[in-house]
C-alpha cells in the first residue's frame, strides 16, 4: 500500500468515526429528552412562548411603590417611617404617575420608590373618584417609562401579567388571562373594567396590567372577595388603559375631570315598557325622574319620555347615553330625539356640569 492509499484509508476511518460519534451523541440526547445541541453551549434565543421575562424587563422598572410618609417631619425617610399604600405606573418623562385614587386619598405625604432604589416625594396633580384614578408627579431624570399602545385593546383570552407590590413584600409578577371585558358600564361609576384571573392583592392597586409584549393594557384596581374573606378568588379587575390615559390627560390639564350632565334618571326599555308606551323596538332609555332645576327640565324632558337618539346617534341603552352625556362639554347644546305618547319629537338641551350623581 503506497502513501496516498494509506492517507485515504485513515481519512475514511476518521470521517466514519466522527459520524458514528455524532450519531451516538444524538441518540443519547434523544433518550435523555434533550436536543442534540444540549451538549454544547446554546446560542439560540429561548422561545418567547416559554417565558415572559422580556415583557417584564420592558415594563417592570416603570412600576413604582407608593408610600405615605409620617406627618412627623422629625422622622427620617426610611422604611420605619413609611406606610405602604400601593403601586403606580410612570407614564411620561415629565414624571406623571398613574395610580388609584383609593391608594393616595388619605396620605399625608406621598413617597414614590423606584425599582432602581431612588425615592421621591410627589405632589397630587388631580384625582377622579368616579374612576378611582389619580395622577401624581415626581421630579427626576432618566425615569423608566412603561410601553403603551392605545390601539391594542385587550381581548378575552389574552395572556396578561400583573405587576405591583402586594403586602409590601417587593415587586411581584403574577400571570393570568383576560377573563372578561366591559365589566360595569362606564355610566355606572364611569368604569369599564377588564376582568382577569391574575392575582391582584393588597398593594397591587395602581400597578400595571401588561400584555406579553410588555405593553400597558390596564391599571390594576380591585380584587373580588366574598363576604370579607381574604385572599384571591381569581376574579380581579383593572381599568383599561385607553380610559385611564384619557382620564390622566384631563387631570393633568384641569386637575379634575369635567363631565356633562342633564339632570335625569332613566332605565333601559324592556318588553313590558315597550308595549305600554307603544314603542317600535327596545332601543332607548325611558325617563324615570327629572331634576326640576336641571337642564333636562328646562328643555321640557318629562318622565315616561323615551330618548332614542342623542345628537343623531342611536341610543341602544342606558350605558351609551350616559357616556355620551358625560363626554359632552358643559355649556354646549345637544339634540335629543324622544318618543312621547307615541309621537316622535326633538328637544334641544344645554348640557350642564356634573357635580353629583346623574
pLDDT tens track for 126-152? 999 988 999 999 999 999 999 999 988
Q: What angle do CA 240, 167, 60 make, to 5 degrees?
A: 50
Residue 5 lies in a domain: no
Per the annotation, the verdict on 205 as an active-site residue is yes
Give the DSSP H/E element, type plus range, for residue 194: strand 193-196
In degrees rounded to 5, what are phi and psi of residue 101? -60, -40
Instruction: Work out the average pLDDT over 289-318.
Output: 93
Q: Is the per-residue pLDDT at 217 higher than 70?
A: yes
Per the annotation, the verdict on 132 as an active-site residue is yes
3-state secondary structure of 186: coil
The DSSP line for 256-270 is S---EE--EEEEE--
Residue 33 lies in a domain: no
Per-residue model confidence (pLDDT) at position 107: 86
Kindly report, residue by residue over 93-129, the tens digit of the pLDDT: 999 999 999 999 888 899 999 999 999 999 999 999 9
343, exposed or middle or buried, with CB in 10 Å at 0-12, 13-18, 19+?
Answer: exposed
* Count of domains for the chain: 3
Give the domain-ending residue among 254, 285, 306.
Answer: 254
Residue 279: name the closest of 341, 335, 345, 322 by CA. Answer: 341
Q: Which of 134, 205, 328, 337 is catalytic?
A: 205
pTM summary value: 0.73
Residue 41 lies in a domain: no
Grid coordinates belonging to 96: 406623571
Per-residue model confidence (pLDDT) at position 29: 57
Same-domain status, 206 and 249: yes
The residue to which cell 436536543 is assigned: 35
Per-residue model confidence (pLDDT) at position 30: 56
Same-domain status, 182 and 131: no
- Alpha-carbon distance of 353 to 251, in angstroms, equals 16
Residue 38 lies in a domain: no
DSSP state of 148: B
pLDDT band at 3 (very low <50, low <70, confident <90, very high): low
Same-domain status, 235 and 265: no
Q: Which of 68, 87, 102, 128 is catalytic?
A: 102
Per-residue model confidence (pLDDT) at position 44: 46
How many CB atoms within 10 Å of residue 117? 6
Tell me which residue range forms the domain holding 164: 159-254
Same-domain status, 264 and 346: yes
CA distances from 319 to 182, 261, 284 (A): 11, 14, 10
Give the domain-ending residue among 228, 254, 280.
Answer: 254
Stronger pLDDT, 233 or 155, i.e. the higher one: 155
Grid coordinates belonging to 330: 358643559
Q: Which of 87, 127, 128, 132 is catalytic?
A: 132
Amino acid at each position: 500500500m503506497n502513501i496516498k492509499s494509506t492517507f485515504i484509508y485513515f481519512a475514511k476511518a476518521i470521517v466514519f468515526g466522527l459520524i458514528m460519534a455524532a450519531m451516538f451523541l444524538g441518540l443519547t440526547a434523544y433518550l435523555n429528552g434533550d436536543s442534540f445541541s444540549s451538549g454544547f453551549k446554546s446560542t439560540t434565543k429561548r422561545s418567547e412562548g416559554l417565558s415572559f421575562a422580556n415583557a417584564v424587563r420592558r415594563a417592570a422598572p416603570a412600576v413604582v411603590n407608593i408610600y405615605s410618609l409620617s406627618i412627623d417631619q422629625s422622622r427620617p425617610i426610611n422604611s420605619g417611617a413609611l406606610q405602604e399604600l400601593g403601586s403606580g405606573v410612570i407614564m411620561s418623562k415629565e414624571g406623571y404617575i398613574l395610580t388609584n385614587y383609593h391608594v393616595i386619598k388619605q396620605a399625608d405625604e406621598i413617597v414614590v420608590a423606584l425599582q432602581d432604589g431612588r425615592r421621591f416625594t410627589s405632589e397630587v396633580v388631580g384625582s377622579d373618584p368616579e374612576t378611582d384614578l389619580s395622577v401624581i408627579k415626581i421630579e427626576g431624570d432618566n425615569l423608566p417609562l412603561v410601553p403603551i399602545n392605545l390601539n391594542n385593546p385587550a381581548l378575552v383570552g389574552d395572556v396578561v401579567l400583573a405587576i405591583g407590590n402586594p403586602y409590601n413584600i417587593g415587586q411581584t409578577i403574577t400571570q393570568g388571562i383576560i377573563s372578561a371585558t366591559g365589566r360595569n358600564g362606564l355610566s355606572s361609576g364611569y368604569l369599564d373594567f377588564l376582568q382577569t384571573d391574575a392575582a391582584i392583592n393588597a398593594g397591587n392597586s395602581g400597578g400595571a396590567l401588561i400584555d406579553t409584549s410588555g405593553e400597558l393594557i390596564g391599571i390594576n384596581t380591585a380584587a373580588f372577595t366574598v363576604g370579607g374573606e381574604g385572599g384571591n378568588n381569581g376574579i380581579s379587575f383593572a381599568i383599561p388603559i385607553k380610559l385611564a390615559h384619557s382620564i390622566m390627560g384631563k387631570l393633568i390639564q384641569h386637575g379634575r375631570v369635567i363631565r356633562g350632565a342633564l339632570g335625569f334618571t332613566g332605565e333601559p326599555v324592556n318588553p313590558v315598557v315597550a308595549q305600554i308606551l307603544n314603542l317600535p323596538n327596545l332601543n332607548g332609555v325611558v325617563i324615570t325622574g327629572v331634576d326640576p332645576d336641571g337642564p333636562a327640565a328646562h328643555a321640557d324632558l318629562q318622565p315616561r319620555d323615551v330618548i332614542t337618539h342623542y345628537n343623531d346617534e342611536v341610543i341602544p341603552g342606558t350605558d351609551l347615553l350616559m357616556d355620551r352625556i358625560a363626554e359632552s362639554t358643559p355649556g354646549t347644546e345637544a339634540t335629543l330625539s324622544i318618543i312621547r305618547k307615541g309621537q316622535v319629537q326633538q328637544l334641544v338641551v344645554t348640557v350642564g356640569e356634573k357635580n353629583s350623581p346623574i
